[in-house]
Amino acid sequence: MKRVVQVLFILILVIFIGSMLAGVGGMMALFSGDEGEAHIKKSSVLALDLDGVIIDGKDFLDLLRKHRKDDRIKGILIRINSPGGVVGPSQEIYDEIKRTREEFKKPVVAYCSAVAASGAYYAAAAADKIFTTPGCMMGSIGVLMEFVNLEKLYDWAKIERYALTTGEYKNAGAEYKSLTPAQRSLFQDMLNDVLGQFKEAIIEGRKMKPEFLDQYADGRIFTGRQGVKLGFADQVGSWDDARKALGELTGLGPDVEVFKARKRKGFMDFLEDASAETRLHKTVQNLLHTELNARPLYLMPGAF
């Protein structure tokens, strides 16, 4: 009986180890390169997604920079569904889209689906053409900084919090005190400067007159259909309409083939994605905005 138990145990152990090796082999194949890269067999256009709050544009930019160098990729089609985010990454995306058109001579078409506001619209302004759904929320041209003032809460809790600094502005925006008039003036000047940069990008990208843009650069949003009428987008249409338009711009015709790029993932990315605790932490973090809370960051309106 003991012998039978030992044999069964060894058999189960062998099956378990074999299953693990097969799983690891599958994961290694998955992580060995960009899935679908081998499917670029002829001239096509690259499809990219600009999705969610823009905090770090690295994933998007890595794919754009990699595939725009491929001679088989003749144009870029960007699906946008984003309320905006931090200014710096939004500007970087804008610059790289513009560089794709000017240096690599590859046309770019942006398709705005549900939301293309603020920093996301900033990025879209670099495209050759902007397609949009009629009900897309678009615009929100402006900049903001968010602060949290917990001074009264600290007083209620009888907590005294302070900091030693080397200058008046070093702790500007700290949650334990109000902004001084000088600090408010400093931040407002910075916001006005960034708004000017935002407007310059739209004026250049959309060929829009400054005095006309000034009427709408106050943070307001408008529908995709209104955006087309005002000149902030080119045409109301579907994803397929945008694809056909890009096909015409590239000379590949309306039936142009679309290549969907995917980010290469490493083993640690897999473990992180698989962690329920990590997913819960990120969800709570997003709900409470703890990543951006009480930090003097340039934010594009509509991000939260």
By annotation, the residues acting in catalysis are 118, 170
Q: Give the span between the Cα atoms of 207 and 61, in whole angstroms.
A: 25
Q: From CA 80, how far away is CA 124, in angstroms rounded?
A: 8
Amino acid at 206: R
Q: How far apart are the first and last CA of the chain?
A: 66
24 three-class SS: helix
For the chain, give percent helix, strand, coil, nearest 5. Answer: 45, 15, 40
Helix locations, 207-238, DSSP H: 210-213, 224-230
Residues 6+ apart with CB under 8 A from 143: 87, 191, 194, 195, 198, 298, 299, 300, 301
| Tally of CA atoms within 13 A in the half-sphere of 303 that contains its CB | 28
CA distance 271 to 278: 10
Q: With both helix axes pointing from N to C terminus, report the angle between 58-67 and 87-102 in degrees, rounded to the nearest 10.
A: 10
